[in-house]
Amino acid sequence: MPTVRVTRRAHFCSAHRLFHDEWSDEKNREVFGDCSNPHWHGHNYVLDVTVEGPVDPETGFVMDLKAVKGAIDERVVRDVDHRNLNLEVAWMRGIRPSTENFAVAVWDRIAPVLPEGVRLQRVFLRETPNNSVEYLGPEGGDR
C-alpha cells in the first residue's frame, strides 16, 4: 500500500501578546516590539494538519478527512477560536504564545488522538500573510 500524506486546513481568530513576565516593559518592547502591546492584538490563523499513512484499500483513504477535521475542531479550534491565547487556553498555560510554541502545542493536542497506523507528519501555522511556522514533531527536526 502506498504511503500518502493528507492535509486538512482550518481557520480561526485569536488575540494574544508576546511578553516575558520577568522582564521590564522596556526589555519586552525591545525584544517583542509591537507584539508585546499590553492591550493585545490578534490574528486570523491558518492551520494545516498533515497526517501520513498507508492508503486503506477498502476506502481509498489514509484517514477519513472528516475525522481529521473533527480532531482539529475538538482539540484545537474550539479552544482557541475567538479566544485569548494567553488567558483562556488551558493547554497554552505557561507557554509564551509565539507561533513556534503554538505549533508545538497543537502537535501535542492532535498526535495522541490519531488512529493507529496514521502518524502526524506536520503542523503548519500561518500567523500573517508573510509569517508562518511548521513543526515536524519531536523526531522530525532533522529532515
- Name the 3-class secondary structure at 30: helix
d(CA 108, CA 46): 18
Binding mask 104-143 for its own copies (x = CB under 8 A): x-----------------------xxxxxxxxx-x-xxxx
Pick 91 or 98: Cβ nearer its own copies: 98
CB of 87 to its own copies, least distance (A): 5
Span 29-58, contacts to its own copies by CB under 8 A: 31-35, 37, 39-44, 52, 55, 58
C-alpha cell at 107: 502537535
Instruction: Tell me whether residue 35 is one of the annotated catalytic residues.
Output: yes
Do residues 128 and 35 lie in contact, with contact meaning Cβ atoms separated by under 8 Å? no
CA–CA distances in Å: residue 91 to residues 29, 55, 68, 107, 109: 26, 32, 20, 12, 8
Instruction: Tell me whether residue 13 is one of the annotated catalytic residues.
Output: no
Q: How far apart are the first and last CA of the chain?
A: 23
Task: Give the footprint of its own copies on this chain (CB under 8 A).
Answer: 2-11, 13-16, 18, 20, 31-35, 37, 39-44, 52, 55, 58-62, 64-66, 69, 81-84, 87-88, 95-101, 103-104, 128-136, 138, 140-143
Which residues are catalytically annotated? 35, 82, 127
